[in-house]
Amino acid sequence: MLSNSDVVAARERIRSGVARTTCPQSFALEARAGRFHLKTEFRQRTGSFKDRGSLHKLLRLGPTAREGGVVAASAGNHAQALAYHASRLGIGCTIVMPTHAPLIKVAHTRGYGARVIQTGETLSDGMALVDRLAREEGFTPVHAFDDLDVMAGQGTIGLEILEQVPDLTTVIVPVGGGGMISGIATVVKAQRPNVRVIGVEAAASPGARESLTAGKPVHLENSDTLADGIAVKRIGDLTFPHLATLVDDIVLIDEEQITRAIFFLLESEKFVVEGGGAVSVAAVLEEKVEFGPSDVTVCILSGGNIDMNLVSRVIDRALWADGRLARLAVVVRDRPGYLNEVTALVAIEGANVLHVEHTRAFGDISVGRVGIELTIETRGPDHIATIVAKLRELGHRVEELS
């Protein structure tokens, strides 16, 4: 088992090579019970907390291992961190990434100087190739989470949190393979045993929770998830006992909840955070954890390496869900001026027309009528209801489309 002293020693080794990330108070969450802070690990050099564990492992290698180079399987964040720090230290690095890893993570990993091999669907699928490369080419494997040196490096987050938020009562940590929460829980429980340590997993990849229920690490086939950085098929043999003895609870977050959390952080905190990094805030927004008025909570935002195309889709989906985007199907008489009447009313009511499509070919529209489909930007559900009511007052048939 990892010890508090292991993590303290790790901090001294990596101090000059990683950022001491900020932990500001979240005023956007202040309507909920207690006080909340956000640990901004996405501000690390390569965009995630993985800088800490990767650097610590590399610094612990002997001369022969450094000369031979390292190899790892990673969905992206461990890959980038290991590639960057290996390059900085003059150590050769090969990374095995899933076929569908986010493009930004693949590009950055190559940009940091690593050789990238893409194969399989998940992190676990690449491990067989890592083992073969280690045997055939003499590389030293660096596991993304199931390694005591890596876990000690990640645990330095906990040391910083205890210093930055001395009245801490709860820390909420994203969980994939369990390396980060194991390191953090080790120092938090050693120094402040009454502080709650809560883990958060994607419901599509609940390996830690299922393993705790089974009493041992179990292999699960996971589903696609926005939280790709924490989607693993099996938690670590070394991380499991830390979760079993030190973590107070593991909660699950579904895909819509992850989407809402990413959007919340964008809109309210001005933070760009990936799905796996946002699940800690999702647990708060979705009331998965109970808080009292005296609770002081830190949510760890573990990474920010999200594809900008995905950000665009997240924003659109969140706006639809919030009622700030809507699609209306309006049936009007096929006469000059009726399209203008509809769009003018929308404008008068203070909404913005983003897209208009108009057709006579719908089977449920009678001859002499025309269908108009509008995508509009509104202030919310009440605003949409007002516009629909006004259009109906003009005698038009109106339906809000999902």
User: Domains in the chain, please, with CATH?
Assistant: 4-48+147-318 (3.40.50.1100), 53-141 (3.40.50.1100), 323-401 (3.30.70.260)
pLDDT of amino acid 123: 65
Task: Look up residue 240 and give its two tokens.
Answer: 């499991």
**What Cα–Cα distance (Å) separates residue 386 from each residue in 345, 351, 353, 356?**
11, 11, 15, 19
Query: Helix, strand, or coil here: 396?
Result: coil
Q: Which range among 72-76, 106-110, 242-246 has the greatest average pLDDT?
A: 242-246
**What's the pTM?**
0.90
Per-residue pLDDT reduced to its tens digit, 176-217 = 999 999 999 999 999 999 999 999 999 999 999 999 999 999
pLDDT digits (tens, 9 = 90+) for 281-321: 999 999 999 999 999 999 999 999 998 889 999 998 889 88
Q: Which amino acid is at 388?
A: V
Query: Which residue shows structure tokens 């705790």?
Result: 212
91-126 pLDDT per residue, tens: 999 999 888 877 778 889 999 999 999 988 766 678
Distance between CA atoms of residues 346 and 339, nearest Å: 11
Active site residues: 50, 302
